[in-house]
Structure 1
Amino acid sequence: MEAPGGLKMGILIPSNDAGRLIGKQGAGLRQVREMSQCNIKLGQDPDSQGNRRCDISGPTVEHIASAVHAVATRIFEPGGETAQCKLFVAFPNEYVGAVIGK
């Protein structure tokens, strides 16, 4: 599904996991960008909950989904302490009704 002007999605990543996404000298983030063909920007400052915003933009839903999957794969540690990955999604207010089924 292609959208005119592209699509955007924001996710929150725990600050202590950001290094796994970025990788050595930015190689991890670069790899995710190239693989998904999306632009990915990781915020510098954590919010009050200790999360950093990761903005993903790309031409199609499939590209965005690929980028989100790649980000989650890089920060998720199978067999780690919690062995789970929480995904927080940000979207514009005008889509709230569509998401919750208004």
Structure 2
Amino acid sequence: MPVADTVETYRLNATAKSVSDKLVDGSLIKVTDTEITAGATMELESVLVDGVPDGGATLGPTQIEIKPADGITLDGEAAAVLRVMRVPRAGVAVAWKLIVRN
């Protein structure tokens, strides 16, 4: 039985800047990467199942775990998530720091 292809799109309230020098390791994280700080609550904007809008999806504010495999769009360009850091490190996340490359 085929599995449905589901794409969820979230809007982040975030800031972006050049990656901090202390995070650059020269192999995984490079000086040309971008550091994003985002609030933990994101806005679910749409859900597509096999390219068709899911009318039963509950849109609005939600909290999710961001993972390195997740895609992100920064100023209209796709970017790869290289590293995810939760703030604080334990307990309920109030923010996320992401290192991305586009």
Instruction: Name the one with the larger strand percent.
Output: 2
Instruction: Determine which structure has more spread, i.e. the larger CA radius of gyration.
Output: 2
TM-score, length basis structure 2? 0.32
Give the TM-score normalised by structure 1. Answer: 0.32
Comparing both chains, which one has the higher relative contact order based on Cα–Cα distances under 8 Å and sequence gaps of 6 or more?
1
